[in-house]
């Protein structure tokens, strides 16, 4: 993985950073020289790594205010600072809006909208007291920018996350920058195994102007840019990483 940004001496926390897109983001930050903490409810078989360096895993429920506070405190206690946070944890299984239970809809909105807000609040408390401030990136989805039949609560939450990004960027400036990466169709091993393998991926790729699905690395590079000094005047932005757009076939996977 080529190093295009130098984040040596920086400390980054990635939620949902043990697999899929989150793992790719964590490994890209390691490759760029940052110390990385990954948060998830379950420990991975092996932490994200790059060469001889590994991310630190913290078992964390990002829906829980106290749990988030402990994770941020551990990061600051271990490394003395927190420079970047990527709110990647999220997702939703398919569910018809007409029959989805109130409990289901509430859980999806909490995970995809409220949790990033809570993590951002906790991180901002630390970053505002640092001379260099900090940078927060929220991972959204094209489902938040277009109709999302079958995952309506998820799409609404991601739309809210894009708006939340703009609001927090205005509130937390100038010390803390808050931006968003809206991802299109991203190929991950989990989706490959669960939704028909190469046939599904090939069908999606044919609808993307760039001729392929995105990779976790594509999203990761956008996150590196937004947390680097190259984006020092960028806040409240929504960087759309979708290869020109896509039109998924009917049997689409759980959104990431």
Concatenate the DSSP letters of all residues of 199-241 into one string: HHHHHHHTTSTTSS-B-HHHHHHHHHHHHSGGGTT--S-EEEE
Instruction: Kindly write down the DSSP assignment for every residue of 128-182, as one continuous string.
Output: TTSTT-EEEEEEEEGGGTS--TTBHHHHHHHHHHHHHHHHHHHHHTTTEEEEEEE
Give Cβ neighbours of residue 205 (< 8 Å, ≥ 6 apart): 185, 211, 212, 213
**Cis ω on the peptide bond leading into residue 174 (within 30° of 0)?**
yes
As given in the structure block, the two tokens for residue 32 are: 């760029």
Q: Is 154 a catalytic residue?
A: yes
Planar angle of CA 163, 165, 167, nearest 5 degrees? 75
Q: How far apart are CA 95 and CA 256, in angstroms?
A: 15
Choosing from 154, 161, 191, 253, the catalytic residue is: 154
Which residues are known catalytic residues?
154
């Amino acid at each position: 993985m080529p190093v295009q940004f130098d984040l040596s001496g920086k400390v980054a926390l990635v939620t949902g950073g043990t697999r899929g897109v989150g793992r790719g983001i964590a490994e890209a930050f390691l490759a760029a020289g940052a110390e990385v903490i990954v948060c998830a409810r379950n420990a991975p078989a092996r932490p994200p790594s790059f060469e001889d360096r590994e991310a630190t895993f913290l078992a964390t429920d990002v829906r829980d205010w106290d749990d988030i506070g402990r994770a941020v405190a551990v990061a600051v206690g271990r490394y003395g600072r927190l420079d970047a946070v990527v709110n990647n944890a999220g997702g939703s299984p398919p569910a018809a809006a007409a029959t989805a239970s109130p409990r289901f809809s509430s859980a999806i909105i909490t995970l995809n909208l409220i949790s990033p807000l809570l993590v951002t609040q906790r991180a901002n408390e630390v970053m505002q007291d640092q001379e260099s401030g900090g940078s927060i990136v929220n991972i959204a989805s094209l489902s938040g920018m277009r109709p999302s039949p079958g995952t309506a609560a998820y799409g609404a939450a991601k739309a809210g996350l894009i708006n939340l990004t703009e609001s927090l960027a205005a509130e937390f400036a100038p010390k803390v920058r808050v931006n968003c990466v809206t991802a299109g169709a991203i190929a991950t091993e989990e989706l490959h195994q669960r939704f028909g393998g190469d046939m599904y991926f090939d069908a999606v790729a044919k609808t993307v102007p760039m001729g392929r699905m995105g990779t976790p690395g594509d999203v990761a590079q956008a996150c590196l840019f937004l947390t680097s000094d190259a984006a020092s005047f960028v806040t409240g932005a929504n960087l759309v990483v979708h290869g020109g757009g896509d039109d998924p076939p009917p049997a689409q996977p759980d959104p990431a």
